[in-house]
Amino acid sequence: MPLTVKTTEGCPANRRSSLVLAWLTAGALALGVAGCSTTDARRQPVLTGDLMVDGPNAIAHGPTRDRVLWEYRTATAAMRQGNYGLAKQYLDDGLTTLQGIYGPDKEARKARGYFHAEAKKTFIGEPYERSMAYIYRGILYWMDGEPDNARACFRSAEIEDSDTENHAYAGDWVLPDYLDGLATVKLSGDGSDAFKRAQGSAKGLRLPPYDPKANVLFFFEFGPGPTKYATGEYAEQLRFRTPVSPVRSARFKIDSLDVPVAPTDDVCFQAITRGGRLMDHILGNKAVFKSATDIAGDVGIVGGAATILGTGGRNATADEVGAGLIVAGIISKAVSAATTPEADIRSWDNLPHYLSFACMPLPPGPHTVTVEFLDAAGMPMPFLTKTVSFDVPADKDKVIFVSDQSLTPQKT
């Protein structure tokens, strides 16, 4: 029905003005609610699809809140290209941010507010991502002949995973505990406790006892890792997509040896077993608030319009009440629209699905290893076969990192 219904007391003008004012007021308030959100002056970079280009560009010029995310991603890509110096640089910076995240944080506080998305906070990753950052850094420390600093990283990896909702899944990475013990043994300590913890977490897998003379350490990773997505009416529920890995195991050949490699850790399992986050409750509350204000807005607008139209413009007080209801309704709708309960789905999206490890004693000098990645039927996937040539030094361990995404051939 048109709003210019003819009345007897000159009320159309009054009603029009009340409605105009209502809309103006609500519009201004809606702008006030929605327009105050701030943006990072640094913009999202244009992506080329090449992480070794996009990563450094995003780190240097992209939003500061995403810096650690790009450092993680780029470090992984760099490791797969054998550019370990660059990986160290980015992981060190990312871990420095991670280690200093304690205490009040302006951006994190905003992310908890109704009108800022969770993704506005500085990214440090979910616990499985933080653990992986430490695991990669640990591998790099060992590569540099610093097994005690490597052990420190493996211990931190377990600590990051220690605050799970279900304590059965707390600190249940296998490899970090196993390597903690191995480093301890190599440093003339007792690694038996760490070994027991690792064996306890390695369900269905019998871990080899430590060999202090094993001077060549192989780290393997394969398969696509977990990513995040959101569900719920307002995308407020964080979920993890865990793709089935086409690669299920590996095998490597060195000198006359042919060694099978079973997965030791499942990164996807680590992602989904953390349980609920405190932030999930906050996002849930945001979603309830968004829904409630939306419904309240509908009620206000419909009720106000019905009040005004119901009087036929003959009752100035009712018109004022109706206009007030419409204003309140529009404000409520604006508040609802400005409420952002969306979960943060920024993901370290080039993590592997599986981690594994092997070590053996080899004489100093040049060696070449060929690594085959095997499918579910145990057949090699030829296009994934990697070859790495390396020299075993006489005075420290040699660490070889091989991913199914690694460049090949490599010489380290």
Partner 1 sequence: MNLMKYGSFLAVAATAGLISGCASSGVRNPSGTPVTEMRADERGFVAGTGIESQDLLAVTDKMSHGILSIPQIANAQGTPRVVLDPVINETRFPINKDIFLTRIQADLISKANGKVTFLARERMAALEKERQMKQAGQVTSSSDPNVVEFKGADFFLTGKLSGLTTRTSQGTSDYILYTFELIDARTSDIIWQDSAEIKKQGLEDAAYR
Using rule CB under 8 A, residue 142 touches partner 1: no
Residues 321 to 340 in contact with partner 1, rule: CB under 8 A: 323-324, 327
Using rule CB under 8 A, residue 197 touches partner 1: no
Pick between residue 48 and residue 99 the one whose CB is nearest to partner 1.
99
Residues 42 to 101 in contact with partner 1, rule: CB under 8 A: 99-101
Tell me how far apart the alpha carbons of residues 78 and 90 are, in angstroms, rounded to a whole number: 10
- State the minimum distance, in angstroms, from the CB of residue 13 to partner 1: 11
- State the minimum distance, in angstroms, from the CB of residue 223 to partner 1: 28
CB 191 within 8 A of CB 184: yes
The stretch near partner 1 (CB under 8 A) out of 102-110, 244-252, 357-365, 403-411 is 102-110
CB 353 within 8 A of CB 243: yes
Structure tokens at 138: 């640990």
Residues in binding contact with partner 1, number by CB under 8 A: 57
> 253 — alpha (psi -120 to 50), left (phi > 0) or beta?
beta
Pick between residue 263 and residue 322 the one whose CB is nearest to partner 1.
322
Structure tokens at 90: 């980015």
Helical pair 67-80 and 84-99, crossing angle rounded to 10 deg: 150
Sheet containing strand 410-411, edge to edge, reads 257-261, 249-254, 365-374, 386-392, 410-411
- State the minimum distance, in angstroms, from the CB of residue 97 to partner 1: 10
Using rule CB under 8 A, residue 314 touches partner 1: no
Binding mask 253-292 for partner 1 (x = CB under 8 A): ------------------------xxx--x----------
- State the minimum distance, in angstroms, from the CB of residue 162 to partner 1: 5
Tell me how far apart the alpha carbons of residues 81 and 405 are, in angstroms, rounded to a whole number: 9
- How far from 316 is each of 7, 37, 145, 304, CA to CA, in Å? 12, 38, 85, 13
Pick between residue 66 and residue 118 the one whose CB is nearest to partner 1.
118
CB 338 within 8 A of CB 34: yes
Residues 345 to 384 in contact with partner 1, rule: CB under 8 A: none
User: Tokens 């550019």 identify what position?
Assistant: 83
Q: Which of 4, 5, 9, 21 binds partner 1 (CB under 8 A)?
A: 21
From the list 264, 228, 266, the residue with the least C-alpha distance to 353 is 266
Q: Which of 4, 44, 48, 162 binds partner 1 (CB under 8 A)?
A: 162
Tell me how far apart the alpha carbons of residues 249 and 187 are, in angstroms, rounded to a whole number: 30
Pick between residue 19 and residue 58 the one whose CB is nearest to partner 1.
19
- How far from 281 is each of 160, 199, 291, 353, CA to CA, in Å? 20, 34, 15, 28
CB 225 within 8 A of CB 350: yes
- State the minimum distance, in angstroms, from the CB of residue 359 to partner 1: 21
Using rule CB under 8 A, residue 309 touches partner 1: no
The stretch near partner 1 (CB under 8 A) out of 157-165, 200-208, 356-364, 368-376 is 157-165
Structure tokens at 38: 């701030």
Q: What is the CA radius of gyration of the chain?
A: 29
Give 258's strand partners: 253
- State the minimum distance, in angstroms, from the CB of residue 252 to partner 1: 28
Q: Which of 137, 186, 228, 398 binds partner 1 (CB under 8 A)?
A: 137
- State the minimum distance, in angstroms, from the CB of residue 115 to partner 1: 10
From the list 4, 21, 1, 24, the residue with the least C-alpha distance to 13 is 4
- State the minimum distance, in angstroms, from the CB of residue 235 to partner 1: 17
CB 262 within 8 A of CB 249: yes
Residues of the shown chain interacting with partner 1 in the complex, contacts defined by CB under 8 A? 14, 17-18, 21-22, 24-25, 28-29, 31-32, 35-36, 38, 40-41, 99-106, 108-109, 111-112, 118, 121, 124, 137, 141, 146, 148-153, 155-156, 159, 162-163, 187, 189, 277-279, 282, 316, 319-320, 323-324, 327
